Structure 1
Amino acid sequence: MNIYSTSVLFRSLIYKRSNLCCSIRIFSSKNDINKEIDSRIKIQDYDVNKVSKDDLNWRWSVNDENKEYFKSLRLFYTDSNNVEIVKALQTPLDLSFSGIKNWLTRKNKQREISEQTYNPERNEVLGNELAAAHFVVFRGGAVKFHGDDKWIKADEYKNYNLPEYYVRNKYIEAIDCSDTDIYYEGLQNFRDVKHLKWLSLNDCQDIDDWCIDTICAAHYKTLVYLDLRNCRNITERGLTALWKMKKLKLLFLDDVIRSTEFEMTVLLLQEQLPQLEIRVGEFAEDD
């Protein structure tokens, strides 16, 4: 740096310092500062009734602010990501044979749950009824439509005969999910089936009280037959949700004396629904 540039830099610093000193007002005491602030701020009483919709435009939710982020990266993001990462970091690494086997089992379960999540695009193409039929039959279940006595089920090569496009006036009457891996997320695919009368969840090990509540909320107006045998995760809490199913006539259970609470719930359910017949046992004849 030469002498000329040093001189120019020194002059600019002096000029800025002089402007800064002119803009600062020196107060003699703290009271003068408070008086100055009070004179410049106009305090208004807050009234909720005077707040307009435009005054609340600054309120944005996290999802609204990051809408583009969620659109582009939603494929790689789930609400439980942070919890899973923290849990994985706090869990000791188990490289034994049983540890690896359990890890693979959990991963397969997570993948199956993700695949069973409700897919609105599938319903737009096939309609609610056929979309649910494809969902059930593809996973080893069977369906029957109104006006047709034939059950539709996949063969040993997973081939089955179902329309691949929307067909009008085709409604599911019965769904058989016996011995299939149906999770709570998968039941969301049945929520728009409007004329379901017959449902079997026999030997579905992942059906629990939350699943029963979902079924009752979606089909309490139409369901007549319900098979809940070998569903060990269903407790008396799940049975209490059946009281709203006014058309239910036949309920299958494998054991009603597993606990005092369960037995009492069954008795109260029969009292609440006089038309309901509860059959117990593995070898009960289906109607």
Structure 2
Amino acid sequence: MSEAVRWLQQCRAFPHLLCVRRPYSSATSPDPLKGGILQYLCNWFYDIEYLVGWSTKLRYRNLRRKNAYYGHTKEIYGDNVAAAYFVLSNRGRVRFQGQETWFCADRRGKYSSDFLQLRDVPVVAIDLSGSVLSYDGLDNLVKLTALRSLDLSRCPHVDDWTLSRLHVFKDSLEELSLAGCPQVTDRGLACLHQLEHLRRLDLSHLPSVPTPGLIQILVEEMLPQCEVVGLAPDSGAQMSRDGREEPGVPSGARRAGEIPA
């Protein structure tokens, strides 16, 4: 039963509902008792459809804007500074080689511009957890040849297509976090087999991954040198190759990117 038919039945059962006026209408809707029920319903559902469409377009436009390619910045400052600028603009954190401290934005999104002086220093760690990074946003990171740690946890737009682009870091990436990414599936995890130098992989809380215990065994077979955490049924437990649970360090005990300078 459609929403229009259901609403029409309610109007017939409760005539007093027709006297309710809607605020914020896109047009001045006539009194349903005078202009007719059909015209009233037409105006109602047109407004709802318009608002939903406008909201969807606005979200998509903001997503594209936040994942825009920083090509002009790359031409002036180089790949590493441009990548840092992109990360900080999305309220992430970035660390350069030989630096113990991270560059990060404050609560208002403001950050220091001192990183502009490090144009010849490679970026080794990036934390974009909770950001709106998408497939297109990776254009700003793919040229980082010394990236060792990447935290993409809780990124709602990181999907299997995004994981398929991480092969560009196969010669340097040692630590990766995909914890809490709702669109990551077992198909995307299969794309990580090229990350031969990966030493730690956090796959905690992936709702789109079926049979997490089995998937963890398969990932460990695919990346035998890597510590895979988070897919075991119990928090903090890891699955051995024979299918038995073994105690391990909880996935939240150490944050991705906390590696020596």
Q: Does 1:259 align with 2:210?
A: yes
User: Comparing both structures, which one devotes a greater share of its residues to helix?
Assistant: 1
Q: Which has the larger radius of gyration?
A: 1
Whole-Å separation in 1 of the counterparts to 2:105 and 2:225: 35
Q: Does 1:188 align with 2:139?
A: yes
Q: Residue 270 of structure 1 aligns with which residue?
A: 220
Q: Residue 123 of structure 1 aligns with which residue?
A: 74
Quick one: which amino acid aligns to residue 141 of structure 1? G
Give the Å deviation of 1:118. 1.8
Quick one: which amino acid aligns to residue 197 of structure 2? K
Quick one: structure 1 residues 269 and 140, their matched pair in 2 at CA, closer, same or farther if it must change by over 3 Å?
A: same
Quick one: which amino acid aligns to residue 129 of structure 2? S
Quick one: structure 1 residues 94 and 174, their matched pair in 2 at CA, closer, same or farther if it must change by over 3 Å?
A: farther
Q: Residue 175 of structure 1 aligns with which residue?
A: 126
Quick one: which amino acid aligns to residue 186 of structure 2? E
Q: Does 1:285 align with 2:235?
A: no
Q: Does 1:152 align with 2:103?
A: yes
Whole-Å separation in 1 of the counterparts to 2:128 and 2:176: 11
User: Any idea what SS the aligned residue of 2:176 has?
Assistant: strand
Which shows bigger deviation, 166-175 or 97-106? 97-106
Whole-Å separation in 2 of the counterparts to 1:198 and 1:164: 18
Counterpart contact for 1:140–1:154, Cα < 8 Å? yes
Question: Mapping of 1:218-257 within 5 angstroms?
Answer: 218-255=168-205
Q: Residue 206 of structure 1 aligns with which residue?
A: 157
Quick one: structure 1 residues 166 and 120, their matched pair in 2 at CA, closer, same or farther if it must change by over 3 Å?
A: farther
Whole-Å separation in 2 of the counterparts to 1:268 and 1:115: 35
Q: What is the TM-score normalised by the length of structure 1?
A: 0.61
Give the Å deviation of 1:117. 2.6
Whole-Å separation in 2 of the counterparts to 1:212 and 1:102: 29
Quick one: structure 1 residues 249 and 168, their matched pair in 2 at CA, closer, same or farther if it must change by over 3 Å?
A: same
Whole-Å separation in 2 of the counterparts to 1:97 and 1:155: 37
Q: Residue 141 of structure 1 aligns with which residue?
A: 92
Counterpart contact for 1:173–1:195, Cα < 8 Å? yes
Q: Deviations over 1:21-75 (max 9, x none)?
A: xxxxxxxxxxxxxxxxxxxxxxxxxxxxxxxxxxxxxxxxxxxxxxxxxxxxxxx
User: Any idea what SS the aligned residue of 1:199 has?
Assistant: strand
Q: Deviations over 1:91-131 (max 9, x none)?
A: xx954357515522432322331452323222001110000
Paired residues in the alignment total: 194
Whole-Å separation in 1 of the counterparts to 2:174 and 2:78: 24
Quick one: structure 1 residues 272 and 183, their matched pair in 2 at CA, closer, same or farther if it must change by over 3 Å?
A: closer
Counterpart contact for 1:126–1:166, Cα < 8 Å? no
User: Any idea what SS the aligned residue of 2:164 has?
Assistant: helix
User: Any idea what SS the aligned residue of 1:96 has?
Assistant: helix
Whole-Å separation in 2 of the counterparts to 1:127 and 1:166: 11
Quick one: which amino acid aligns to residue 132 of structure 1? A
Q: Residue 21 of structure 2 aligns with which residue?
A: none
Counterpart contact for 1:142–1:177, Cα < 8 Å? yes
The counterpart of 1:111, out of the listed 62, 79, 92, is: 62
Higher relative contact order (CA 8 A, sep 6+): 2
Q: In structure 1, list runs of 5 or more residues that go unmatched.
A: 1-92
Quick one: structure 1 residues 191 and 99, their matched pair in 2 at CA, closer, same or farther if it must change by over 3 Å?
A: same
Q: In structure 2, list runs of 5 or more residues that go unmatched.
A: 1-43, 236-249
Q: Deviations over 1:257-277 (max 9, x none)?
A: 9413x5444322211322111
Quick one: which amino acid aligns to residue 110 of structure 2? N
Quick one: which amino acid aligns to residue 224 of structure 1? E
Whole-Å separation in 2 of the counterparts to 1:166 and 1:144: 13
